[in-house]
A and B are shown apart, each in its own frame.
Chain A
């Protein structure tokens, strides 16, 4: 573990990414204490107030207010909760299904592999956002359905990654050795092979987190995800479109929040990839 931290620290951008993620997570956890206002509190007298350092700004609204007089900063802080939840749930969902499918395909091979991978191919042939729109239009637009949609869209990526690394590990002699010692298939799959195939899965999950956040924002922007008045970053962007010339801060800061979240998780993913590389581990 100490070795791990030492290696990770060497990569400066990964450290930056780590701090971004830490800030985001603490924003999400301590939202009620950080945010000066409740995210749904409307104050129609204070509509479209610019950020505090611009002319006409008020100190109590750090990043200004939107068209209903809601505090933008508070909404962004609460939005971190939603974005992180979306990331965790949809990555968790794609990972669970992708892992099981990939493990089975890679481990058993033959007809099972053929069957699972053809399903994956079919899923891959449909554009992600289109599939998400289909899911959402069947189940109706809501944040939960958007998470399900993003989760389903992610499955093939994980299945392929898991399959590839399982296939590489399966042929190693320690797997045969474990079979010789009497291990059954389930044990071989989850206990013997999986830990050795975990590196690319961990990296992909971190990166996938970022793209899930981005996709959720995209769906919400299209009106297929979080519904108003939920303080979701993508939804906030689409709400503010009509004020883009008069109140640009309304679109700028939620966008910035999305940008940093995606950047942070991608940097962490890159850092993890470097550290967990088995070639470095042996040194």
Chain B
């Protein structure tokens, strides 16, 4: 069963210099309980695809065409109220910058409480508190009762990202969109956060749409991989297939630019993705 089906999505940005086709005719599916990774360079349209699913495209951007079917309903045909009801409760999102993604004026607990208040009207104050502590424990936050009353500036980057994940998971969403959640974290914390997301997925059966440019992370997280290049999908395959048998020249170029111990000699030059080649000329490899 597919939880999300994105069909022929086109999101364009209109400016004085013309139209920027940030996302141009993109289609993919997110099966229930699976992780789909979107990989690509900066500016390839990864984040815009995820923001389109959340309907968070502001002017001058516009979703021109396509369907986003979530749980059997086309989100693009629904009104703002319906989307607001879905945001936070059925689809949650984690951002790249944990330093700025929590509101500095309120305590951690207050912010989790607010999300719960909005989407779990049946819980009373005590129920919400217990739920929030539970969520903080779930993401492995040390001393959750103490951290509940802390302001974000007292937490480290990794702790803040945990809080973000706790907030995102507090309402047990069906889909979690993670937009480069580990880019701003150091490698050890990154591994912990990824591990945590995998565990939560096993426990709650959440589908994850994971956006990254780090192929190492893809290998660790993905069931399915979507490779994006300049607003198009150039290759789509299961993670295993993609790493064992990359078919599209762009995917090959991407994979070749990762340093592999043993394969690459010291002081030799690393392969790069050639900017002068228009990879769109090659046929798309959609498996």
Contact = CB atoms under 8 A, between A and B. Distances in A.
Contacts of B103: 174, 178, 192, 195-196
By DSSP majority rule, is chain A's interface helix, strand, loop, or mixed? helix
Contacts of B85: 182
Given A179-B56, A179-B87, A182-B87, A174 B119 contact: no
Interface in A232-283: 278, 281-282
A178 B105 CA distance: 13
A153 B92 CA distance: 45
B136 to A, nearest CB: 17
B233 to A, nearest CB: 24
Interface string A180-214: 11111000000010011000000000000000000
A176 interface: yes
Nearest to A172: B100
A180 B100 contact: no
Contacts of B89: 182
A191 to B, nearest CB: 8
Contacts of B114: 181
Contacts of A181: 87-88, 92, 114-115, 118, 167
A110 interface: yes
Interface residues of A, number: 19
A254 B95 CA distance: 59
A125 to B, nearest CB: 29
Q: How large is the interface on B (under 10, 10 to 19, 20 to 34, 35 or more residues)?
A: 20 to 34
Nearest to B58: A109
Contacts of A173: 95-97, 100-101
Interface of B: 54, 56, 59, 84-89, 91-93, 95-97, 100-106, 114-115, 118-119, 153, 164, 167
Given A173-B100, A181-B92, A182-B89, 13 more contacts: A174-B100, A176-B56, A176-B95, A176-B101, A177-B167, A178-B103, A179-B87, A181-B118, A182-B84, A182-B115, A192-B103, A195-B105, A281-B153
25 contacts: A173-B95, A173-B101, A174-B101, A176-B101, A177-B164, A178-B103, A179-B56, A179-B87, A180-B54, A180-B87, A180-B92, A181-B87, A181-B88, A181-B167, A182-B85, A182-B87, A182-B115, A182-B118, A183-B118, A184-B84, A195-B103, A195-B105, A196-B103, A196-B104, A282-B153
